[in-house]
Amino acid sequence: MPEHSVLVVDDEPIVRESIRDWLTEAGYGVATAETGEQALEMVKTQDFSVLVVDLRLPGKTGLAVLEAIKAERPWIKSIVITAYPSSETAQEAKRLGAVDYLLKPFAPDDLERLIDDTLAAIPPEATVTTVEKAPAEAPVAEAIAVRETFAIDKKDLQSLYDGLAASAEVLGPKAKKGKFVFDRIKRFEELCLDYDVTVHPPANCLRPPHETLLTMKLGDVSAGEPVLDASPRVLFGVHPYDIKAIELLDEVFMTAHPDPHYITRRQNTVIIGVDCLHPSANSFASSMGTHQTETGFDLLLTDIGSAVMVTIGSERGAQLLAEYTGAREPTDYEIATQKTLRDAAVEDYKLHLDVARERLPKLLEDHYDDPYWEEKSENCLSCGSCIMVCPTCFCFDVKDEVSLDLKGAVRVRQWDGCMLSDFAKVAGGENFRHGKAARFRHRIFRKGKYVLERYGMVGCVGCGRCISACLPDIASPVEAFNAIAQRAKAESARRLISKVTPQPDLYAPQPAKLVRVEALAENEKVFEFRFDNGDSLGHRPGQFVEVSLAGIGEAPISISSSPTREGSFELAIRNVGNVTRALHALDEGAQVGVRGPFGNGFPIEALEWKDLLLVAGGIGLFPLRSLVQYVLDRRDRFGRVVLLCGSRSPKERMFTDELSEWKEDPGVEFHETVDGGDASWKGNVGVITTLIPGIDLSPAKTMAVVVGPPIMYRFVIGELKKKGLADEQIVMSLERRMKCGVGKCGHCQINGVYVCQEGPVFTLAQLRNLREAV
Amino acid sequence: MSKPKVAFFDFTCCEGCQLDTLNIDGEALVELLDAVDIVEFREVMSDKAGDVDIAFVEGSITRESEIPRLKKIRERAKIVIALGACAHIGGINCLKNHLAMEDAQRIVYGEDAEKYDTIPTRPIGAVVPVDYVVPGCPINTAELLRTIKELLLGKTPELPNYPVCVECKMAGNICVFELGMTCLGPVTRAGCNAICVSAGRHCWGCRGLVDDPNLNAQKDVLEKYGLSVEEVLEKFKIYNTCTTEGIK
Amino acid sequence: MSSIHINVHHVTRVEGHGNIVLNSQNGKIEELRWEVPESPRFFEAMLRGRHYNDVPHIASRICGICSISHSTASILATEAALGIEVSEQTTLLRRLLFNAEVLESHVLHAYCLAAPDFLGVKSVFPLVKTHKDVVLRAMRLKRLAYRLAEILAGRKTHPISLMVGGFAKLPEPEQLVALRDALAESLTDYDATVELFASLTLPDFERQTEYIALQDEDDYAFISGKIASSDSGTAPVSHYLEVTNEFCVPHSTAKYTKNNRDAYMVGALARFNLNHTQLHPRAKDAAGTLRLRAPCHNPYMITIAQIVECVHATEDSILLIEKLLDRGLEEESIPSEITAGRGIGAVEAPRGILFHDYTYDENGILTAANCVIPTNQNHNNIQKDMEALVPTILDRSEDEIRLALEMLVRAYDPCISCSAHLLRVSFTNDASTGNDPQKS
């Protein structure tokens, strides 16, 4: 029967046939039975996912059928239909495992939807298809409820082992010299499922220390013959952290250039996991989230003492369970015991990560140059023990071995790793990761950052094997992570409670006097302020201040004058809100409060010695004026200066005297336009973008700075890109609601950045990564 | 190269390395004889030869009179390969270096001490330039065969530059430090497949040290596991007297 | 007869370095010497101050061919000195391992070192073309002996698992079964060996001498028993000094020995002469086919006795393996309690009886050592044999005489570098021949 097939049991032919027609049209495979007995016979030889059964049947009742199905084929989902509802039958049906209960008459849609939902509750299959070498008479188990848990008797483990060992090599944990090793299990009695950790990880079976890749003939230019190992294996007793490690290896080897050697082994390997109820003293799997798993296995066992719980992870697992054990529904007590044991195991971990593991990548990145790496690796022997016992390591070297007659050769890969001294050495002699400290750091970065960023899965599963294996006791990743976290804390300890010297006046404005105010346009004025204590503002062009009027409020205003003009600073302000309205009402001599300057300002260092294309749209001129004055005050440090200004109309032109100055200035190529002209206007008319095509630029040495309303950006940037400017060469200033100015209140966020801290000036390159920016 | 002329020579040694060369698997030996011309091998042949392409030299230099003979071999051979620990790093014979020469002779020779000719043991590389090495006490014959094959192919034979620990892990061994023993594996050059640990013992360091061994760390580790400083130095003495003194 | 000058510098196809010097004028022998100029190895001095677990490791390096013999003797001496007893399982395994050495050493000597002379070639290598089967057979037999040692001790040359107190690692039953089967099959190869050597014509030379070997009550002794002499019966191993009586000679850096006569012989022929009744049945048959009968006084028959011992060792190994499999192998812990003391270990190395004599302090550190090597004990006998042989062949050509002398030396299968372990030489510089044994 095709996958997801439905068995319909009803004694009324009309019901049977119509349901069959609906479901067949909906794409399901459907079979029908007249009686309960017939249904039970069919279930023995054909596989179904769903049973639709009428409660009233001649002979065996629907409920009896439910009970029998639950015992023999527990993974079949049952839906009960009946024309005679009663709460008792409903309850009984539920107790016997029915998924739901439909009253006749019901619409085809209802049934279809219910079946869809029922089947959707079965999670999609794992991407690895296990190619099993099943014996001829194996009962074909169906697509069943993966992740469902059943209970089996302990003795069933032996029959499971016997069944598997008959046709596959079984490897599992066994005792050796007071430790546990993952090795060939020749007799069931050797298997020790209650263990803390094996000296070497089971992943070694999937990526062995030596592996022949190709057989070749010398002097023959044709490709070698790949050598693949398809012998069937069973890993019986894999702890969750090792399962997680194998999932990582799957990701590494099965995606983007799938590796046939690994894949062949993997597809012929059955994984039977076992819960780790007694973690080793060096394990920190709970901190890495690998102490339990819901994926990556065919079966997962939990020994609860009185029985063994088995969770199904794949079809293959379900098949094995059906074939070799008497699996049954677990009792509530058993389910509770499993949970209790698992929770208790979590308490047993002795080593813990002191910082949330999601923070590790950034934490490590910020401490790339920390002296910790040098200090800790002083005693490193470069012996490779840490990487050789690691379940998530997978680097290798490739060598050719020839026969003595120099006719044939094999190409072999063997384990290699970043902690060995010559790993990054090339034939010419240069070693690109020279020195213990660099190698030591690289390994920790692999485990905490690089693997996660590249493969999306944690790079260290916290098994603790490297901690045991390292003779000078330096290999522990959790110790390194915690040490770096401690460093970070130590650095931020300067900002920490008693250690901190607070700025009491962080939010307290400094008094400044309004020395001059001048109208610019209908709603815009320019204000000149001087601090009462005579201090200069000490700002960079492009920064902003917070201006306060006590009782009214505080508003962020761009600084419009250059820091080169000392003593006072100018703010051009448009009347738009409460604070700005109140400011507009001030007379010269009035007092305001000023905090700042804030923000990053224009990147003067990137602009110096370049040709500049400055584009000011409307009141974008307010912040840009600060830059223009600065550039003109230091004219010899810049190349060409092309200044484009645009206003909506001639009446709305501002700083007109200065505009004329700039027009006359031989050091400035000044172009102006208005969106819409009037009778007196003799200049360009058109949006500011129209000015750009006519400008001749050397794109390689030009930096463009653009400030204006949001709508303008898109078009201007388009024209600038046409001119051949790269994203890094286009600088913009963004506006957001800003309040505190010190990166605390949160209003100015664009994705992860604070405009008052990392902005308001950004390059287009930076904005490409900020999805909310444009 | 066309069938190269290969010869075996020995100085002060137990001849075990040459013996093991003869013990390579029968079929491989026949193949070897097809691939190279063994023109001199005193232990098993009566023939003598003139110039040779590859000279394998076993044994260390312990007497003044051995030096001219070694120099003559260097003159006759295009390539000289040190065979085994005695030739490579002095081997067991270096233990005698710890007795002051006078004491050694007196203990052993009595009143005729000064008639006896003995000098501190040296590897052959301390007397003549040596091109390649097959280390170990005894050698790993697979490594010998590989060296010959690589020379036949025009490759530069290379030894692994990582410690025995790597091969121990590949062999699936439990680290002997965890079993109450101590071991020189962490600073000893691999290439032996960790045979001694796999056979139940520990590494004595017979293949010499890796290029850049962290000897201080190794001493710290051994002390951490219960050895006194003297005991640690005793461990290194057995094979690595010359290497720890920087004598190559 | 005119003058004959033979100066074989570094006899080939022997282990170690030895010289043969013969000068005669008109039928009168002026000089006839077997010289041992081997570099002294200073092993007794080197062992001083070493820990008992390192002592056998170092002593093993006295010789590459008989490393198992030296390791075993060293271990027995150490155990006797420190008061350590071992289990029956360990003893059985040691006997089995020892057989591997006997087999490998004798096959090497018979096929590679001695046989070429009989087949008119300079080494075994040309035989690869002309007698490929023979060479492959020899390689097979050596390989099997090697494999036996590998499985029991990790490797044949300088064994690893063999240690004071027991074995660091036990073989798996399947491995022993495979070995037993292979050993049984190899008997066919030994039959062929017997046939080959029975067909060779050995020089007919005899000189009666004293024969000394270990002798045990029941088994053909290799690693147990008392010292037996063909002249004076048995003595406990602790009396070895009175039996060996080492002394120095001017032309040898190795010492000489003698007991009841002016020289004595050790080795396969000595063992055969003393213990032939204890050989296993097939070995006895082989001796018959090879026309070896006790007492045999022809040193050229040492090689023949070695072949008989190979057959015996093969049979013995099969019996030992069956006994071990019957008992079942069990992991045993290595004893670590020790007391200070002196002990002597004696084994029959392939070349003859070998003694190691150690004294340890209460910390298990060696304070004094002495070794008497089989070949040492044969040097004197070789000298005496030469003195008896040369007059009978002086009428031959120089080449023939030289070959005969070389073959005599080779017959003894000397292991010269072992024998030069120790020097207590008082000597005079022998200027007359210009051969200063001090110079190699």
ipTM (interface pTM): 0.93
Say whether C295 sits in a helix, a strand or coil: coil
Question: What is the spatial distance between Cα A717 and Cα C413, in angstroms, rounded to a whole number?
Answer: 95
- Which position has the higher pLDDT, A137 or A67? A67
Residue B114 pLDDT exceeds 80: no
Contact A206, A234 (CB under 8 A): no
DSSP-derived letter for residue C335 is: P
Say whether A632 sits in a helix, a strand or coil: helix
C-alpha distance from residue A46 to each of A1, A76, A138, A459, B90 (Å): 7, 12, 13, 44, 76
Strand order in the sheet with B132-134: B37-41, B5-10, B52-58, B77-83, B132-134
Question: What is the spatial distance between Cα A677 and Cα A687, in angstroms, rounded to a whole number?
Answer: 11
Instruction: Please check whether residue B51 touches C, CB under 8 A.
Output: no
Q: Where are the domains of chain A?
A: 5-120, 149-209+227-347, 357-395+416-497, 510-598, 604-733
Residue of A nearest to B152 (CA): A406
Residue of B nearest to A199 (CA): B174
Instruction: Please check whether residue B72 touches C, CB under 8 A.
Output: no
- pLDDT for C436 equals 35
Instruction: Please check whether residue B198 touches C, CB under 8 A.
Output: yes
Residues of B in contact with C140 (CB under 8 A): 26
Same fold, A5-120 and A604-733: yes
C379: Cα within 13 Å, side-chain hemisphere: 33
Q: What is A604-733's CATH number, 3.40.50.1820, 3.40.50.80, 3.30.750.200, 3.30.1050.10?
A: 3.40.50.80
- Which position has the higher pLDDT, A551 or B157? B157
User: Quick check: bond before C40 cis, omega within 30?
Assistant: no
- pLDDT for C424 equals 31
- pLDDT for A324 equals 92
For the segment C324-335, the average pLDDT, to the nearest whole number, is 94
Residues of B in contact with A282 (CB under 8 A): none
Across the interface, whether the CB atoms of C125 and B45 are under 8 A apart is answered yes
CATH 2.40.30.10 fits A510-598, yes or no: yes
CATH 3.30.2130.10 fits A5-120, yes or no: no
Percent of chain C predicted with pLDDT > 70: 92
Question: What is the spatial distance between Cα B239 and Cα B60, in angstroms, rounded to a whole number?
Answer: 12
Say whether C231 sits in a helix, a strand or coil: coil
C-alpha distance from residue B79 to each of A637, B56, C170, C348 (Å): 66, 9, 42, 41
Tell me the per-residue pLDDT of A726-769, one tens digit each, with 9 for 90 and over: 999 999 999 888 888 888 787 788 877 888 888 899 999 989 87
- Which position has the higher pLDDT, C314 or C248? C314
- pLDDT for C122 equals 78
**Helix H segments across A503-654?**
578-584, 604-607, 621-633
Across the interface, whether the CB atoms of C112 and B22 are under 8 A apart is answered yes
- Which position has the higher pLDDT, A728 or C417? A728
Tell me the per-residue pLDDT of C15-36, one tens digit each, with 9 for 90 and over: 777 888 888 888 888 888 888 7
Residue C107 pLDDT exceeds 90: yes
Contact C265, C299 (CB under 8 A): yes
Nearest Cα neighbor of A322 from A141, A497, A98, A549 is: A141
Average pLDDT, chain A: 88
- pLDDT for A498 equals 53
Burial of B211 (0-12, 13-18, 19+ CB in 10 A): exposed
Contact map slice: A 382-401 vs B, CB within 8 A: 382-385, 388-389, 401
Across the interface, whether the CB atoms of C64 and B15 are under 8 A apart is answered yes
- Which domains are present in chain C? 43-379 (1.10.645.10)
Residues of B in contact with C143 (CB under 8 A): 23, 25-26
- Which position has the higher pLDDT, C342 or A486? C342
| Separation in Å, CA of C347 to nearest CA in chain B | 19
- pLDDT for A255 equals 80
Residue A75 pLDDT exceeds 80: no
Beta strands in chain B (DSSP E): 5-10, 37-41, 52-58, 77-83, 132-134
> Who's near A21: CB < 8 A, 6+ residues apart?
none
For the segment B109-113, the average pLDDT, to the nearest whole number, is 54
The CA dihedral of A532, A537, A538, A540, to the nearest 10 degrees, is -170
- pLDDT for C153 equals 97
- Which domains are present in chain B? 5-152 (3.40.50.700), 164-244 (no CATH)
- Asked which of A105-119, A382-396, C314-328, C339-353 is least confident by mean pLDDT, the reply is A105-119
> Who's near C409: CB < 8 A, 6+ residues apart?
C11, C14, C18, C20, C34, C382
Across the interface, whether the CB atoms of B166 and A383 are under 8 A apart is answered yes
Both structure tokens of A384: 């490779």
Percent of chain A predicted with pLDDT > 90: 59
Residues of C in contact with B12 (CB under 8 A): 39, 41, 417
Question: What is the spatial distance between Cα B144 and Cα C38, in angstroms, rounded to a whole number?
Answer: 27
Question: Rg for chain A (alpha carbons), in Å?
Answer: 37
Across the interface, whether the CB atoms of B34 and A405 are under 8 A apart is answered yes
For the segment A413-421, the average pLDDT, to the nearest whole number, is 93
- pLDDT for A121 equals 63
- pLDDT for B104 equals 58
Average pLDDT, chain C: 88
- pLDDT for C45 equals 79
Across the interface, whether the CB atoms of A405 and B174 are under 8 A apart is answered no
Nearest Cα neighbor of A361 from A444, A291, A437, A288 is: A444
- Helices C302-327 and C281-289 cross at an angle (nearest 10°) of 160
Both structure tokens of A762: 């950004």
Count how many pairs of residues, chain B against chain C, have C-beta atoms within 8 Å: 178
| Separation in Å, CA of B22 to nearest CA in chain C | 9
Please report, in angstroms and rounded to a whole number, the separation of the first and last CA atoms in chain B.
Answer: 29
Instruction: Please check whether residue B159 touches A, CB under 8 A.
Output: no
Residue A196 pLDDT exceeds 90: yes
Q: What is the DSSP string of A22-43?
A: HHHHTT-EEEEESSHHHHHHHH
- Which position has the higher pLDDT, A310 or C1? A310
| Residues facing residue C344 across a β-bridge | C357
- pLDDT for C325 equals 97
- Which position has the higher pLDDT, C226 or C129? C226
Say whether A484 sits in a helix, a strand or coil: helix
- pLDDT for A221 equals 61
Across the interface, whether the CB atoms of C122 and B46 are under 8 A apart is answered yes
> Who's near C246: CB < 8 A, 6+ residues apart?
C255, C256, C257, C372, C376
Both structure tokens of B106: 């007196």
Q: How confident is the model at residue B101 (pLDDT cuts 50, 70, 90)?
A: low
Residue B110 pLDDT exceeds 70: no
Percent of chain A predicted with pLDDT > 70: 94
Tell me the per-residue pLDDT of A269-326, one tens digit each, with 9 for 90 and over: 999 999 999 999 999 999 999 999 999 999 999 999 999 999 999 999 999 999 999 8
- Which position has the higher pLDDT, C185 or A256? C185
Please report, in angstroms and rounded to a whole number, the separation of the first and last CA atoms in chain C.
Answer: 31
Question: What is the spatial distance between Cα A32 and Cα A42, in angstroms, rounded to a whole number?
Answer: 9
Residue of B nearest to C134 (CA): B26
CA A644 to chain centre: 43
Name the amino acid, one letter, at C202.
L
Residues of B in contact with C439 (CB under 8 A): 65, 117
Instruction: Write down the residue that tokens 């990560």 correspond to.
Output: A353
DSSP-derived letter for residue C25 is: E
| Separation in Å, CA of B172 to nearest CA in chain A | 7
- pLDDT for A98 equals 84
Residue C434 pLDDT exceeds 50: no
Question: What is the spatial distance between Cα A748 and Cα A760, in angstroms, rounded to a whole number?
Answer: 9
| Residues facing residue C199 across a β-bridge | none
| Residues facing residue C24 across a β-bridge | C4, C29
- Asked which of A170-179, A711-720, B40-49, C253-262 is least confident by mean pLDDT, the reply is B40-49
For the segment A225-250, the average pLDDT, to the nearest whole number, is 94
- pLDDT for A122 equals 52
- Helices C173-198 and C302-327 cross at an angle (nearest 10°) of 160
DSSP-derived letter for residue C111 is: I
Across the interface, whether the CB atoms of B104 and C45 are under 8 A apart is answered yes
User: Quick check: bond before C295 cis, omega within 30?
Assistant: yes
- Which position has the higher pLDDT, C289 or A93? C289
Across the interface, whether the CB atoms of B214 and A382 are under 8 A apart is answered yes
Across the interface, whether the CB atoms of B185 and A209 are under 8 A apart is answered no
Residue of B nearest to C64 (CA): B16
CB atoms within 10 A of CB A337: 18
Q: How confident is the model at residue C423 (pLDDT cuts 50, 70, 90)?
A: very low
For the segment A335-353, the average pLDDT, to the nearest whole number, is 94
- pLDDT for B199 equals 97
Q: Nearest Cβ partner of A404 from B145, B185, B220?
A: B145
Residue A56 pLDDT exceeds 50: yes
Question: What is the spatial distance between Cα B77 and Cα B52, in angstroms, rounded to a whole number?
Answer: 5
For the segment A504-528, the average pLDDT, to the nearest whole number, is 90
| Separation in Å, CA of B111 to nearest CA in chain C | 8
Residue C282 pLDDT exceeds 50: yes
CB atoms within 10 A of CB A184: 12
| Separation in Å, CA of C309 to nearest CA in chain B | 20
- Residue B91 main-chain phi, psi, to 5 deg: 65, -160
Question: What is the spatial distance between Cα C406 and Cα C253, in angstroms, rounded to a whole number?
Answer: 20
- pLDDT for C415 equals 82
CA B160 to chain centre: 15
Element (H, E) at B105: helix B101-109
Question: What is the spatial distance between Cα C113 and Cα C407, in angstroms, rounded to a whole number?
Answer: 10
Residue C235 pLDDT exceeds 80: yes
Question: What is the spatial distance between Cα B185 and Cα A372, in angstroms, rounded to a whole number?
Answer: 27
For the segment A694-718, the average pLDDT, to the nearest whole number, is 92
- pLDDT for A645 equals 96
Instruction: Please check whether residue B17 touches C, CB under 8 A.
Output: yes
Tell me the per-residue pLDDT of B43-91, one tens digit each, with 9 for 90 and over: 677 777 789 999 999 999 988 889 999 999 999 999 999 999 999 999 9
Instruction: Please check whether residue B248 touches C, CB under 8 A.
Output: no
Per-residue burial over A278-296, b if 16 or more Cβ lie within 10 Å, else e, is ebbebbbbbbbbbbbbeeb
C-alpha distance from residue A85 to each of A12, A89, A102, A105, C422 (Å): 17, 7, 9, 11, 106
Contact C158, B137 (CB under 8 A): yes
CA max distance for chain A: 107
Nearest Cα neighbor of A616 from A758, A773, A733 is: A733
Q: How confident is the model at residue A138 (pLDDT cuts 50, 70, 90)?
A: very low
User: Which one of A404, A436, A466 would you mutate to disrupt binding with B, by most B Cβ within 10 Å of its Cβ?
Assistant: A404
Question: What is the spatial distance between Cα A484 and Cα A355, in angstroms, rounded to a whole number?
Answer: 10
Q: What is the DSSP string of C398-425?
A: HHHHHHHHHHHHHHT--BHHHHTT----
Q: Nearest Cβ partner of B149 from A183, A383, A404?
A: A404
Across the interface, whether the CB atoms of C139 and B199 are under 8 A apart is answered no
Question: What is the spatial distance between Cα A88 and Cα A55, in angstroms, rounded to a whole number?
Answer: 12
**Helix H segments across B3-65?**
16-22, 26-35
Q: How confident is the model at residue B105 (pLDDT cuts 50, 70, 90)?
A: low
- pLDDT for C438 equals 39
Q: How confident is the model at residue B146 (pLDDT cuts 50, 70, 90)?
A: very high
